[in-house]
Chain A
Amino acid sequence: MENLGSIGYSEEQIELMNVAASFCAEKSPIEKVRTLLEDAQGYDADVWKEIAELGWLAIAIPEAQGGVGLSLGEVVPIVEQMGRRLMTTPFADTTLAAQALVAGGTEAQQEEYLPKIAEGAVATLALAEAHGDWDLHNITATAKADGDNITLNGEKLLVPYAEQAEIIIASVSLDGAPRLVIIPRDAFGDSALRREQIIDETRRTYALKLDGITLPASALLDEAKTKAAFEHIHLTAVLLQAAEMAGGTQAVIDYTLDYLKTRKQFGKIIGEYQALKHPITNAYVDYEKARSHVYSAAHCFNDQGMGEIATRMAKAACDKVYGFAADRAIQFHGGFGFTHDCDAQLYRRAAIWHASQHGDGAWHRAKLADLLF
């Protein structure tokens, strides 16, 4: 038990936490979030530009490729604050795609794409498929060598912001082995994309038909780094999700507390009833614990072994408390809680979304059992 990770923080983290807290609060008030629910793109292009200008996309990209050269630990407080304000942009997905290149790209690919991403190009990953498996190595989409080219076949699902992305990195099976391949947005037409209906209305995903897409063989990421890249992508995704979920949990608890402090029934403020007071307190206590797990994951992410344990613990903890807090939020708002107008459902949907991607709590606990016992 001694070596399960600890908490520490950098000056940069604290600075970013403070800046991100005010930026996200200002740019993403709940009315704005609600307006964007109806928007085709789902996010504000101007805000995206500002995010790029703030340099946030460059944080975890090496200096040599136009980045700042800090760690993912510094990205965590930003994503946490975004989750808190339900501010969905392609930030996490773009960061993730950049990390795929950092961990698995050839030098040429890193030179070509990372500086672009650092400056604000939207990038994304196409990993999920119809089988719904969280194991990134379970891939049915294929790539076939064809002279100096490769042709792709199959379908990727739940590709975040595929419509807006300049770069999509897809997982495919090449001669039976998992590989990653870069698909520039101009390599396929609009008809290959279908916008999906997803539980979390604040974000956008697409189904992407790969059939017939032809790319030069140089679009494949470095074969030698494949295994490491898949692992890094998975854990990075999990880390960023956990951070976003922690932020969301904080927000839904605060939102519910506001109601518990104002709504009256039977002549009393309902927050006085222990039937409501104790569950929300339980949610809060679990939230602080989950948040400690997230900070530990941020701190230990790069430590061999320990990083994986801390990261999986973070998501498992966040999954449990986000779901619970948002579920109780709906209940504690009564009839209003059942309406689309009540923000409780936004959080409940976000929690379901996060559980559905890159593993839910039970899945991560199963992985943890293998690591721990």
Chain B
Amino acid sequence: MSKPSEAELKDFEAQADAWFKENTVTDPGFMLPLTFMEVSTDEQFDFLCDWQRKVYEAGYLGTSWPSEYGGHGMHPEFQRVATRAMKKYDGPIILNAIGIGWAGPLLMDIGSEEDKKKYIKGMLSAEDIWCQGFSEPEHGSDLGSAQLKAVRDGDEYVLNGSKIWTSLGDRAKYMILLARTSNDGPNKYAGLSFFLIPMKIPGIETRRIKKLTGEYGFVQTFFTDARVPAEGLVGKEGDGWMVAMKTLEYERGAKVNPAGGYYIKELDAMGVVDLARNSERGGKKLLDDPVMRDKMVEQMMEIQALNLNNQRRRMAPLNQDRPMGLAMMNKLARTEMIRDLTEFSLAFQGTRAGYYVGDENAVDDGYWHRSYLNSFSATIGGGTSEIQRNIVAEHVLGLPKGR
């Protein structure tokens, strides 16, 4: 596919701009989640499904994916333009992150022709919501030790065990699953296999888990002799670790997601500044407090740095020394920044920082508290910040792996 001309891109940009300007609803009358992991009520879920479908049908999601699978078959540059417009108008997040964000690209990479035909369109249109069954009660960071059993029986696998902290697990139609097919390999990784499985079948049950925010949003999933079709296997038996690592590259932002959209809302430091503008200490504006000003500038510099990193990432000559560095640190830096910023925002609220969502006196309806508590979803989910530091240390800086 040849690169589009400047004029074509400009036209498309104008179109996308107009569309998002007209169609974006930022305040539906209830609190919108900042990340796909925060969806908790039916209201939120339905609204976000609807939003994703609209964006897809307008051509701004899956823009560059092949049309035979449900994409719009355009050059990737168009997708970049579309996502930019979505951000510009502060569009709601795209719900089906695990589907189009990680599972989709994986299928496009190594999936079979049938799988692509079967799954991609439903992912994009939000008809099929996906979830991810990686973590287990005993094994989160140490994913390679996962124990959920998958035993082949004719044309099926029989699953037994449990997965936990499964985001959207009670609403999803499909799951990407990491399961143990053998214990005899040369190491723990060799016995793992990767599956695409249906969720609404006998033998799979979910139990909702209440989050620290007081909301629901993820589940524990129990598998009791659940029988799934053997075609669900991705790659060969024993390839599971490699396949899981590939999906994590997308999840952690080390690879750019080709389907577009975004799953975690970026915070604008100016929002925090506005908060400070309306706060008082000792009868004076908090914004005049030198210590607070200093901290606010630090936050703004941090956000600006990450935006600049994103630009620099695409400029090979400015990235020669450690070409993968910026990509591999992306998740760590971004999620920690959001945690810092939202925590900092609480300091502005004085006595009112004591309120929480639901009280009429809570500042911005408790948005900042909820955001701060929720920010841990991203510093823990998808590999904790500590694990991310290990990854950067070992894979970018070349330090030895801890044993």
Contacts and interface: CB of A to CB of B under 8 A. Distances in A.
Interface residue SS majority, chain B? helix
A260 interface: yes
Contacts of A369: 290, 293-294, 296-297
A4 B304 contact: yes
Contacts, number: 127
A75 B215 CA distance: 54
Given A1-B268, A277-B390, A272 B401 contact: yes
Given A1-B270, A289-B302, A316-B301, A271 B400 contact: yes
A296 B318 CA distance: 11
B308 interface: yes
B300 A280 contact: no
Contacts of B393: 271, 277-278, 280-281
Contact of A293 (B287, B308, B329): B308
Contacts of A1: 268-270, 300, 303-304
A313 B308 CA distance: 12
Interface string B271-313: 0010000000000000100100110111011111111110110
A270 to B, nearest CB: 9
Contacts of A313: 301, 304
A291 B322 CA distance: 13
A277 B305 CA distance: 23
B332 interface: yes
B18 interface: no
A281 B312 contact: no
B389 interface: yes
Contacts of B298: 365
A151 interface: no
A278 B389 contact: yes
A9 B315 contact: yes
A290 B293 CA distance: 20
Interface in B383-403: 386, 389-390, 392-393, 396-403
Interface residues on B, range: 35 or more
Nearest to A362: B294
Contacts of A285: 329, 332-333, 392
A277 B399 contact: yes
A211 interface: no
Nearest to B396: A284
A288 B325 contact: yes
Contact of B392 (A17, A281, A290, A295): A281
A303 to B, nearest CB: 15
A233 B273 CA distance: 31
B321 interface: yes
Taking each of B315, B389, B402, which has the highest tally of chain A beta carbons within 10 Å of its own beta carbon?
A: B389
Contact of A269 (B296, B307, B311, B400): B400
Nearest to B316: A14
Nearest to A309: B304
A290 B300 contact: no
B358 interface: no
Interface string A1-21: 100111101000010010000
Contacts of B325: 284, 288
Given A1-B300, A7-B318, A366 B400 contact: no
A273 B315 CA distance: 33
B28 interface: no
Contacts of B293: 365-366, 369, 373
B305 A290 contact: yes
A282 B389 contact: yes
B120 interface: no
Interface of A: 1, 4-7, 9, 14, 17, 250, 257, 260-261, 268-269, 271-274, 277-278, 280-282, 284-285, 288-293, 295-296, 313, 316-317, 362, 365-366, 368-369, 372-373
30 contacts: A1-B268, A1-B270, A4-B304, A7-B311, A7-B315, A9-B317, A14-B317, A257-B399, A272-B399, A272-B402, A272-B403, A274-B402, A277-B390, A284-B325, A284-B329, A285-B332, A285-B392, A289-B302, A295-B312, A295-B318, A313-B301, A317-B301, A365-B294, A365-B297, A366-B290, A369-B294, A372-B273, A372-B297, A373-B273, A373-B287
Given A282-B389, A373-B293, 11 more contacts: A4-B304, A4-B307, A260-B399, A281-B389, A288-B325, A316-B301, A366-B290, A366-B293, A368-B301, A369-B290, A369-B294
